[in-house]
Chain A
Amino acid sequence: MPRNKGTETMTVTRRTLLAAAGTLAAPALVRAQGSAPIRIGEINSYTAVPAFTLPYRNGWQLAVEQVNAAGGVLGRKIEVVSRDDAGKPQDAIRLAGELVNEQKVDLLSGGFLSNVGLALSDYAKQNKKLFIAGEPLTDALVWSDGHRYCYRLRPSTYMQAAMLVDDAAKLPGTRWVTVAPNYEYGQSAVKWFKLLLAKKRPDVTFIGEQWPALGKIDAGATVAALEAAKPDNIFNVTFGGDLTNFVRAGNTRGLFEKRGVVSVLTGEPEYLEPLGEETPTGWIVTGYPVESVINTTNTAFIAAYKARFKEMPKMGSVVGFALITSIVAGIAKTGAVDTEKMADSFAGASFDTPFGRAMWRKQDHQGTLGTYVGKTAVKDGHGVMVDWRYVDGAGALPTDAEVAKLRQG
Chain B
Amino acid sequence: MDFVVVQALTGLAGASSLFLVAAGLTVIFGVTRVVNFAHGSLYMLGAYIGWSILTRLPRDPAWFAAGVLLAALATAALGALLEMGLLRRIYRAPELLQLLATFGVVLMVQDAALYLWGPDELTLPRPPWLRGFVAVAGSRFPLFDLVLIGVGPLVLGLLWLLLARTRFGVLLRAATQDREMVAALGVDQTVLFTVVFALGAGLAGLGGVLSLPDGSANLHIDLDVITDAFVVVVVGGMGSLPGAFLAALLIGELQAFGIVLLPKITLVLVFLVMAVVLVFRPHGLLGRPQAVARGAAEALALVRPAVPALRWLGLAVLALALAAPLFAGPYLLSVLTEMLVAVLFAASLHFMMGPGGMASFGHAAWFGIGAYAAALATHALAAPMPAGLLLAPLAAGAAAGLFGWFIVRLSGVYLAMLTLAFAQIVWAVVFQWDAVTGGDNGILGVWPARWAGDPRVYYLLALALCGGAAMLLRRVLYAPFGYALRATRDSPLRAEAIGLHAGRIRLAAFALAGAAAGLAGGVFAYAKGSVFPTYIAVGHSVDALVAVLLGGVQTIAGPVVGALAYTALFDALLTTSFWRFKLGAFIVLLVLFFPAGIAGAAQRLWERGRPA
Question: Hey, which bits of chain A sit against chain B, CB under 8 A?
Answer: 47, 50-51, 53-54, 83-84, 86-91, 93-95, 97-98, 100-102, 114-115, 118-119, 121-123, 125-126, 138, 140, 145, 182-185, 187, 208-213, 215-216, 218-222, 224-225, 227-228, 240-241, 244-245, 248-249, 251-254, 270, 273-278, 381
Contact = CB atoms under 8 A, between A and B. Distances in A.
B415 to A, nearest CB: 25
Contact of A221 (B14, B218, B331, B445): B14
B339 to A, nearest CB: 11
A222 B259 contact: yes
Contacts of B111: 47
A90 B534 contact: yes
Contacts of A224: 3, 6-7, 10, 139, 256
B423 to A, nearest CB: 16
A122 B133 contact: no
Contacts of A276: 123, 125
B7 A115 contact: no
A123 B528 CA distance: 8
Contacts, number: 206
Contacts of B126: 248, 278
Q: Give the secondary structure class of B's interface.
A: helix
Q: Which of under 10, 10 to 19, 20 to 34, or 35 or more describes the interface residues of B?
A: 35 or more
B259 A221 contact: yes
B432 A182 contact: yes
B145 A102 contact: no
10 contacts: A51-B219, A53-B119, A118-B442, A182-B431, A183-B432, A209-B263, A211-B259, A216-B228, A224-B6, A249-B142
Nearest to A229: B260
B120 A273 contact: yes
A213 B216 CA distance: 17
A84 B214 contact: no
Interface string B251-268: 000011001100110110
A47 B264 contact: no
Interface in B28-81: none
Contacts of B228: 216
Interface string B1-32: 00100110011011000000000000000000
Interface stretch (B292-300, B433-441, B459-467, B501-509): B433-441
Given A122-B444, A218-B256, A278-B123, 9 more contacts: A51-B120, A51-B218, A98-B331, A100-B331, A118-B442, A119-B528, A145-B444, A222-B259, A241-B218
B215 A244 contact: yes
A47 B220 CA distance: 11
7 shortest A-B CB distances, which residue pairs?
A: A50-B119, A101-B331, A274-B121, A221-B256, A122-B444, A184-B440, A183-B440
Contact of B133 (A54, A184, A225, A252): A252
Which residue of A140, A182, A211, A212 has the most chain B CB atoms within 10 A of its CB atom?
Answer: A182
Given A84-B575, A218-B256, A220-B142, A119 B442 contact: yes
Nearest to B267: A213
A47 B580 contact: yes
B151 to A, nearest CB: 15
A64 B228 CA distance: 44
Contact of A228 (B3, B11, B439, B580): B3
